[in-house]
Copies of this chain bind each other. A is one copy, B any other.
């Protein structure tokens, strides 16, 4: 898989040139680029890589379904393996969302931490927060986003935290001192593993989704295991907790989780079918460029820059 990772980076480099003139002339927008992307640029997400979480119906009886895509190997593999085991054991059924903090996270699992965990969960070491990668020095080029440059190579760019890149549909950060590790990051909607004090890394039974500005200080300090690709509003609109550390002040306020299933365990008719825009595609390169350089009539001044978490990888229902 490490080889695949490097291949993805190299492909990004060669496929991702985009002309500033093109984009300015047609007043394209990120949305128009997504709409015009070729079918072949979309990558199907395996149902086995999706978690479907059904919360108890809302106040008006509305369905509340949250779909989470698990991060692909080689990232956070031990925790993702635990999470698959927990889901196949239907362990989350009957647990709850028990902590919601504004501009921070919504967290779920067993609020009382008394429910026995299934056999076979691994203790994952802190070293697994990052993944060793071989760097190809020839493949590293700064990503400078200015409208004046006729040819933009979308490969890696530096934000306030790290060298960043897109790999296999995911925003990724890289070590900026010698460059030997990579890690998935905390963006809006991303899902991580709650834990106690270091060196505890969490089993994967207690999870959280980011519902505010990207808390990138958590990168490399907690395991990022997925991202919400549909239904984040069922978490982000929940009442904020008023108890300790934003927990709900009493069991009655918790939001019951009816079930959590891996997508491939659902009957065919209910199986989630999603796809993402390949991050090594030409359309993604244009999309990324426009995220940094809005030049449609609504905008007066392009930002000429963008941070990693402000470039959400397009994900849609398959055939959308």
A37-77 near B? 1/0 per residue, CB < 8 Å: 00000000000000000000001000000000000000000
Q: Is the CB of A216 within 8 A of B298?
A: no
Judge if A306 is at the interface, Cβ distance under 8 Å: yes
Q: Is the CB of A221 within 8 A of B301?
A: yes
Q: How far is the CA of A309 from the CA of B309 in the complex (A)?
A: 12
Bound complex: CA of A214 vs CA of B215, how far in Å?
A: 12
Given contacts A160-B307, A236-B102, A300-B198, contact A294 B188 (CB under 8 A): no
Compute how far the CA of A13 lies from the CA of B301 in the bound complex, rounded to whole angstroms.
Answer: 30
Nearest chain B residue, comparing its CB with the CB of A293: B217
User: When A187-B213, A215-B310 are in contact, do A198 and B298 touch as well, CB less than 8 Å?
Assistant: yes
User: Closest residue of chain B to A290, judged by CB?
Assistant: B217
Q: Check B160 against A217 for contact (C-beta < 8 Å).
A: no
Assess the A298–B197 pair: CB atoms within 8 A.
yes
A303 close to B (CB within 8 Å): yes
B303 touches A161 (CB 8 A): yes
Q: Which of chain B's residues have a CB closer than 8 A to the CB of A306?
A: 160-161, 216-217
Those of A146-165 within 8 Å (CB) of chain B:
157, 159-162
Most buried by B among A126, A292, A301, A302: A301
In the complex, A160 Cα to B291 Cα: how many Å?
12
| Contact residues, A4-41 vs B (CB, 8 A) | none
Query: Any chain B CB within 8 A of the CB of A180?
Result: no
| Interface 9-mer from A237-245, A256-264, A265-273, A280-288 | A237-245
Contact with A160, one of B159, B236, B240, B299 (Cβ below 8 angstroms): B159
- Give chain B residues whose Cβ lies under 8 Å from the Cβ of A233: 102, 239-240
The answer to whether B240 and A129 have CB atoms under 8 Å apart is no
Q: A159-B160, A232-B102 are in contact. Are A129 and B300 (CB under 8 A)?
A: yes
| Known contacts A236-B102, A240-B233, A299-B198: A213-B216 contact under CB 8 Å | no
Contacts of A303 in B (CB 8 A): 161, 216-217, 219
- Given B129, B188, B297, B305, which contacts A197 in the complex, CB threshold below 8 Å? B297
Any B CB within 8 A of the CB of A220? yes
Assembled-state Cα–Cα distance A271/B197 (Å):
42
What is the CA–CA distance of A215 and B306 in the complex, to the nearest angstrom? 9
Smallest distance from the beta carbon of A201 to chain B beta carbons, Å? 9
Assembly CA distance A220 to B301 (angstroms): 7
Asked whether, in the complex, the Cβ of A216 is within 8 Å of the Cβ of B299, the reply is no
CB-contact partner of A291 in B187, B217, B237, B238, under 8 A: B217
Cβ of A240: which chain B residues have Cβ within 8 Å of it? Answer: 233, 237
Q: Which residues of B contact A232 (CB under 8 A)?
A: 102-103
B217 A310 Cβ-Cβ under 8 A: yes
Q: List 20 A-B contacts (CB under 8 A).
A: A102-B232, A103-B189, A129-B300, A162-B305, A188-B212, A198-B299, A212-B212, A213-B213, A216-B306, A217-B294, A217-B299, A217-B303, A217-B310, A219-B303, A220-B301, A221-B294, A221-B298, A233-B240, A236-B237, A237-B239
Pairs of residues from A and B, 3 with the lowest C-beta to C-beta distance, nearest first = A160-B307, A188-B213, A220-B301
